[in-house]
Structure 1
Amino acid sequence: MFIGCISYLLLIQYSSAQDKPEIDIGGALRFNYNLSTWKDGQKSRGGDFGYDVFRINAKAKYKGVKLNAEYRLYAADFGGGMLKQGWIGYDFNDTDNLQIGLTQVPFGITQYNSHNWFFSINYYAGLEDDHDMGMKYSHKGEKVDYAIAFFKNAEEMSFGSYSDHSDSRYSYDIASKDLDGDGAPDLRNKEVNQLNGKINYKLGQEKTKHKLGASAQYGGVENLDTRKMGKHYALAMHYELSAGKFDLKAQISKYKINTKNPSDEPDNIVAMTAYGYPYFIAAEANTYTLGVGYNIPVEWGPVSNIQIYNDFGYVDKAGENFAETIMNVTGALITAGNVYTYVDFASGKNMPWLNPDFNNSLAQGSATSDDWHLRFNVNIGYYF
């Protein structure tokens, strides 16, 4: 019934829309170089340089109804092909919009709570640039922005009664992972029926702007073995500052995931997956992120701007004897025409992508992940 009402609203307002369809096709090709301190082979050969991603973006608009889709093709080890986003939308006016499909979850600082290529630590717990299947209504006013959304589930690619999530996805979602080494998945959970709300208050003048906001989400977590429904929630306070060439992003978040696992499985960790491979995270934690950036206009041939930045993240886990996770990325974004290059020095402890223990870093941690490690990363992309 709700979808029927939406369709009716779209139809009765079509007369004010344009008569000719608009289509815009774009995309990007990116390559990546990295040198990691925990990889002896990389150190001996001076790092690795290879293919990152090829993506296609499609936007269309006709009679007020819009399409926005992005498909990405990564290397097989990183998940291969996946739809990052794909939604049908409608602008009721200059301030109010509806989107239906695979759309960004309105939680925390959006579009990104970070400046660097790695994103912030929140991304790896499913709290930054997450995209799920549902509908979102957003309002952007002069002083207040807000969004409310309902997500039926994360992006679904298997439609069996109790199918595990595919690991080939762009944003991190609750999923399944083998825990005891027998080759069968454990901790088999899925996010379902999630509600989101977000509000931002905008202050300041043209040269100095402040944005102070709060976000909340609540939903179910279905266990595919016990057939029982748990729950999860997340809360956040966030602040953004834009002052000339300087900007700042700060966020405090809390999440908790209560699962109804079989009695022989732990409930203080949860499996999360994206980019072709799952890992474990603490079922409850507080996260703290702070990022600063500064733009330097230059005239060096095709190079027009260099943004220098530092993004810091800290995860305080609720589990007993769970080790803290720390991540810091110092770097620069170099703009040269359509080419954007991220040069990042990423360091951390108990961070999956920054140490040899990928599985347990965001959960209990381990002796190998509790050491500081460094990854020097350069990502070069041509956007068209």
Structure 2
Amino acid sequence: MIYTLKNLLWFIFTIPFIGIAQDTPEIKFGGALRFNYIYSSWKPEQKKQGGDFMYDMFRVNAKAAYKGIKLNAEYRLYSDAFGGGVLKQGWLSYSFNTQNHIQVGLTQVPFGIQQYNSHNWFFNIGYYIGLEDDHDIGIKFIHEKEEGFNYQIAFFKNAEAITFGGNSDISYSRYSYDVSSMDVDGDGELDYRNKEINQFNFKVNYKINRKNFKHQMGAYAQYGGLYNLDTKDIGNHYGYGVFYELDYKKLNIKSELLHYTKSPKNPDNESKSVFAMAAYGTPYLVASKANMATLAVAYTIPVTWKPIESLQFYNDFGYINKITEGFTDSYMNVTGVGVSAGHLYTYFDFAAGKNNSWLGGNFIDDFAQGNPEAKWEARFNINIGYYF
């Protein structure tokens, strides 16, 4: 731990003066263009038309390296209805050696299985409450090797922000779900005006490689503040969990158990049992306390059907158990197959959900109070993406 802190301090104060033997700058660009076909059980107009085929996203990836300092950035352009242009990630890094690295900027939060706790286009249910593939702005130290103990220590000053000023509500145009503000009663004034500040994360995992078996197990925790823009008080939030991942030949299994609690200092007229989150241009309410369990299984089959190279069959299940009395739990299950054909990757997903804002809910409080009379709804989705 002392070694880690020494490296962290050394990096902060010496990054402007670092000079490592790499005289030639390296720059790489890539990206993707994706389209979606959608057929939803709860949308009669869409069903009558035979579904919708629409633009999903265009992205640009950039990587650069010079004198030991590396850059990694990804910018995505969604439709205006889904937030428009967003920076998914963008960080600078430096490697002290092959095992110890540091990242500064908009970087992935070390919480849960990384990079993804899922195999499908929809992610798993934790993504929709900010607990999968979340990215915030801060500094992160990574100790990583092929076997044995690995760990990450991070401090995030805040979630990704695009406006200056401590009294600014966060923008809804974002890739990752973060605590936000929301006009709940439709009076034109924002409610539940919280935002994440000063968050600490720690994650440790242990890797075992034995012939065809690769095991990874670990635990993680986070603690941070929630600044309320109305009361000017700082609440807190925390989360912790454990995970296990197995790779055996062509089989992959991911599993997680976690808990989170949000305790904002809201005005007296606002419930402490819910808070607002936002991404893709729209906010919704989420339960302040919950447990979550996920299990994702995939099996990959190589094929020689030109140009198809492999098929990955998967089933990803997620469950949110809301602790507040009277709240109804949320579910999500995605069964599908990913088809790889050179630079083209296509997801064929059958996603089903209950009390899920993205799968047949009212989009306002499915992840909060929920509806005890809610039914399972489903969406058949084909995502076609060319990655370059």
Shift of 1:8: 4.6
- Show the counterpart of 2:352: 347
- Show the counterpart of 1:292: 297
Shift of 1:13: 5.6
Residue 56 of structure 2 corresponds to residue 45 of structure 1: no
Residue 101 of structure 2 corresponds to residue 97 of structure 1: yes
- Show the counterpart of 1:78: 82
Select which of 320, 336, 339 maps to 2:341: 336
1:83-134 Cα shifts (integer Å, max 9, x gaps): 0000011011111111000000001000000000000111111010000000
From the superposition, tell whether residues 119 and 146 of structure 1 become closer, same or farther in structure 2 (CA, over 3 Å).
Answer: same
Shift of 1:14: 2.6
How many equivalent residue pairs? 382
SS in 2 for 1:308: strand
The CA distance in 1 between the partners of 2:291 and 2:93, in whole Å, is 34
The answer on whether the counterparts of 1:120 and 1:312 sit within 8 Å (CA) in structure 2 is yes
Letter in 2 for 1:298: V
Residue range with higher mean Cα deviation, 242-251 or 201-210? 201-210
Select which of 264, 269, 274 maps to 2:269: 264
Percent of residue pairs bearing the same amino acid type: 56
- Show the counterpart of 1:22: 26
Shift of 1:10: 4.2
Shift of 1:161: 3.0
The answer on whether the counterparts of 1:303 and 1:334 sit within 8 Å (CA) in structure 2 is yes
- Runs of 5+ unmatched residues, structure 2: 1-5
The CA distance in 1 between the partners of 2:103 and 2:209, in whole Å, is 29
The CA distance in 1 between the partners of 2:191 and 2:129, in whole Å, is 19
SS in 2 for 1:6: helix
The answer on whether the counterparts of 2:246 and 2:254 sit within 8 Å (CA) in structure 1 is yes
- Show the counterpart of 1:303: 308
SS in 2 for 1:352: coil
1:1-384 pair list within 5 angstroms: 5-10=10-15, 14-15=19-20, 17-141=21-145, 142-366=147-371, 370-384=374-388
The answer on whether the counterparts of 1:328 and 1:348 sit within 8 Å (CA) in structure 2 is yes
**4+ residue runs of structure 1 moved beyond 3 angstroms?**
1-5, 7-13
TM-score relative to the length of structure 2 = 0.96
Letter in 1 for 2:30: G
Shift of 1:319: 1.3
The answer on whether the counterparts of 1:357 and 1:366 sit within 8 Å (CA) in structure 2 is no
The answer on whether the counterparts of 2:303 and 2:311 sit within 8 Å (CA) in structure 1 is yes
The CA distance in 1 between the partners of 2:107 and 2:246, in whole Å, is 25
1:210-263 Cα shifts (integer Å, max 9, x gaps): 001000000000100000000000001000000000010000010000010000
1:50-108 Cα shifts (integer Å, max 9, x gaps): 10000000000011100000000000000000000000110111111110000000010
1:8-60 Cα shifts (integer Å, max 9, x gaps): 54467633x32111100000000001100000011001100010000000000
The answer on whether the counterparts of 2:8 and 2:102 sit within 8 Å (CA) in structure 1 is no
RMSD, aligned CA: 1.5
The answer on whether the counterparts of 1:187 and 1:271 sit within 8 Å (CA) in structure 2 is yes
The CA distance in 1 between the partners of 2:323 and 2:296, in whole Å, is 24
Shift of 1:183: 1.4
Letter in 1 for 2:48: S
